[in-house]
Amino acid sequence: MNTKLTPSPNETAALNTEELRSTFLLEDLFASGEIRMVYTDLDRAVVGAAIPASSPLELGNDDALKADFFCQRRELGILNIGEAGSVTVDGAVHEIGKHDCLYVGRGSRSVQFASADAGSPAVFFLISHPAHAEHPTTKATRADANRVELGTPEEANERTIFQYIHESGIKSCQLVMGFTEFKTGSIWNTMPCHTHDRRSEVYCYFDVPAEHRVLHMMGEPQETRPLWVADRQAVLSPPWSIHSGCGTASYRFIWAMGGENQAFTDMDRVEISELR
């Protein structure tokens, strides 16, 4: 598990392109046959990915957590962006299809990932936050997700938000999680944009064609910075930063938050005319 410490807004404004990317962009999170994880000081989140191939992968513990097992004091959100697979939690097997989500509650001792077909593996995105309360391990399929329709074709931001772990969905301590997909011809996400000082966020872009990119905008609204993001790369978003993107082709992205509250609508809107 690698550790990433995030700078202040003033420090971020002075970073060059490579420094910005190495600080906020997780470029190599997904690897076949591995679990890779990054610990960040943003609400003490752990961001990871697991791609089980010919054999299952066991979620190990890391000395950085100073815990007896990974979920001893943590909750875990899992979203599959690959083919069919399963997650076994303390002996209970949960079949996880494409775009299905699994919440793993605090106190779960064993978490194991497997693919139904090693040739077409499951691809699990992982997000974990500290938890002070226990909630049951719960699965939600794509069909179970709460759907929110936003945007308009005229503004090229018509999209569907799939909410899994949220106030009215899967119960958690502080984790909020889902993903967004776009209607044909729309490319802008989270525009008009916003900040939310009460929680940090992680974006993981997926289904981005190999030759295309997403231009992810971050930074303070009056001091924005660009990150060109490829398929299966994730961006760390501090509470003070906007988090918005525009793709050169169709794409989807996972959003996951942790912090002071779980109200999805708790955000500080930034007008487009105010951006710099």
What is the predicted pLDDT for the residue at 31? 98
pLDDT recorded at residue 43: 96
Q: Could you tell me how far CA 220 lies from the centroid of its own chain?
A: 21
Average per-residue pLDDT for the chain: 96
pLDDT tens readout for residues 72-97? 999 999 999 999 999 999 999 999 99
Write the pLDDT tens digit of every residue in 88-124.
999 999 999 999 999 999 999 999 999 999 999 999 9
Give 27-30's long-range contacts (Cβ < 8 A, gap of 24+).
27/230, 27/233, 29/204, 29/232, 29/233, 29/234, 30/123, 30/232
Taking a C-beta distance cutoff of 8 angstroms, is the pair 220, 240 a contact?
yes
181-230 pLDDT, tens digit each: 999 999 999 999 999 989 999 999 999 999 999 999 999 999 999 999 99
Domains of the chain: 6-274 (2.60.120.10)
Q: Which residues pair with 150 in a beta bridge?
A: 159
Sign of CA dihedral 45, 22, 271, 252: negative
pTM, 2 dp: 0.96
The answer to whether the bond into 192 is cis (omega within 30° of 0) is yes
CA–CA separation, 47 and 69 (whole Å): 16
Residue 263 has pLDDT above 90, yes or no: no
- Greatest alpha-carbon span in the chain: 53
Q: Looking at the DSSP assignment, which residues form a beta bridge with residue 93?
A: 88
In this prediction, residue 128 has a pLDDT band, given cuts at 50, 70 and 90, of very high
